Structure 1
């Protein structure tokens, strides 16, 4: 049975464009709500929201921010650069989670412009899309209160089997990592009718595991815990063995889940 992704739900007879988009947005929110538990499990650490000032980076439709508030967060700010997603998150909060409105807010803002102090910064499936991730890690460190925690996890890394997120529309694993990027961009440009010059034009920063380690290592954390290839797929233990071979690391690192604690 083929699973239709929320953003690809077909229009119903007589359904307007706005109605279709609303239905897709709600389906996406429900899917992400259902996925929160598995994401938290893959982090591999007990994450406490109770009494915390929480920032979510790349909040999208707001599912994880809502979860944080329901789990007892003192306040939650969800930020994203997608105005439409932020508009949905705010409207959905008001319509369906009214009791949380005094503790949750959503804002379309670049983290570089954000001020304040947070006890916990979370980010789900976002780091692989950020163009200047090194700068963002610096802003995260700046915004964390002493003793504050960054908890982030995402998959897939670009060079892993399906790391292009399907955006190059290829049918075989690793093809995007092997074929010349220039050729891939020409191909997808012809397919979508607009000029794509790089993977970043498709929201893919081509992050490698060693880069992420270097970005984190530029700051003086009290402790960092990084776990790779978390999940229940029987292939992941094999991938974990293969990624220990240095030339193969980027090709067999699918996901990363990390917690970093700022010094008190």
Structure 2
């Protein structure tokens, strides 16, 4: 059962805007109460919805994505901001030498919203982004932990039953792939789900990478119910219970979303 926002770019954009305005910005404002004039970059910006409230609050923004079509969509949604020079949208890899040359030590806030779980070699990119931060800069991450009920993004399955089965992504790779085929999932969906299985990240692994790369965690929030589920499933956001959030590994299975702010030591 592919959800409606997977097929409708305008709906997906608006959901990103609302989620950013209601949850992402208040979380980031715990570290940056006054956002006006700050330089903000989003890695994996997609349609640009997450950046929209930052633009409305007077930030100078850069959105970067590897997929040119998504940059085209973002440009169409945010053309006035692009035309005014307040927003720059780039289809490029942030590892490119010219990207680093242009943006070294530039950003007060870097955003990775629902992105890190799709990126190979996550420790490498966490370390690399230090070079893009300003002296006061911090990085925001929001992602679903791998071991949570739908941490494999199986909600994108076209088969309604598979899209609702929790923890199925934790099956051994050959068995998981076999189940997807047996239920008639198309090859493109199977490829996407196998890629997420390769790159999904747990709370513990993320925090280990952050520590090894020389960052401090300045803010952390765990959700029992992911704020974005308001749009996907019609349920309200709910923070994780404190005792559960404090239990390493066990919390991964019951926490559907985590927010972090980190800064270099």
User: Given the two structures, how large is their TM-score scaled by the length of structure 1?
Assistant: 0.78
SS of 1:63 mapped into structure 2:
coil
Which of 168, 172, 186 aligns to 2:165? It is 172
Where does the alignment leave 5 or more consecutive residues of structure 2 unmatched? Answer: 228-235
Q: Residue by residue, what CA displacement relative to the aligned partner does 1:224-263 show, whole Å, maximum 9, x if unpaired?
A: 32222276645832xx534544452331232211112335
Structure number with greater Rg is 1
The answer to whether 1:182 aligns with 2:174 is yes
Give distance in 1, aligned partners of 2:239 and 2:218. 26
Q: What residue number does 1:61 align with?
A: 47
Aligned length in residues? 240
RMSD of aligned Cα (Å) = 2.9
Q: Residue by residue, what CA displacement relative to the aligned partner does 1:27-54 show, whole Å, maximum 9, x if unpaired?
A: 2212211221233245582544211121
1:223 Cα deviation after fit? 5.5
Q: 1:242 to 1:44 in 2, by over 3 A?
A: farther
SS of 1:153 mapped into structure 2:
strand
Q: What residue number does 1:241 align with?
A: 243
1:120-139 equivalences in 2 (<5 Å): 120-139=109-128
Give distance in 1, aligned partners of 2:253 and 2:5. 28
Give distance in 2, aligned partners of 1:104 and 1:160. 35
The answer to whether 1:35 aligns with 2:24 is no
1:38-53 equivalences in 2 (<5 Å): 38-40=22-24, 41=26, 45=30, 47=32, 48-53=34-39
Q: What residue number does 1:11 align with?
A: none
Q: What residue number does 1:88 align with?
A: 73
Q: What residue number does 2:230 align with?
A: none
User: Given the two structures, how large is their TM-score scaled by the length of structure 2?
Assistant: 0.78
1:221 Cα deviation after fit? 3.4
Q: Is the 8 A contact 1:43 1:227 kept in 2?
A: no
Q: 1:3 to 1:212 in 2, by over 3 A?
A: closer
SS of 2:88 mapped into structure 1:
strand
Q: Is the 8 A contact 1:185 1:197 kept in 2?
A: no
Q: Is the 8 A contact 1:181 1:199 kept in 2?
A: no
Where does the alignment leave 5 or more consecutive residues of structure 1 unmatched? Answer: 9-23
Give distance in 2, aligned partners of 1:245 and 1:88. 41
SS of 2:17 mapped into structure 1:
helix
Q: Is the 8 A contact 1:49 1:68 kept in 2?
A: yes
Q: What residue number does 1:7 align with?
A: 6
Q: What residue number does 1:206 align with?
A: 200
Give distance in 1, aligned partners of 2:112 and 2:133. 13
Q: 1:205 to 1:85 in 2, by over 3 A?
A: same
Q: What residue number does 1:220 align with?
A: 214
Q: What residue number does 2:260 align with?
A: 258
Give distance in 2, aligned partners of 1:82 and 1:213. 28
The answer to whether 1:149 aligns with 2:138 is yes
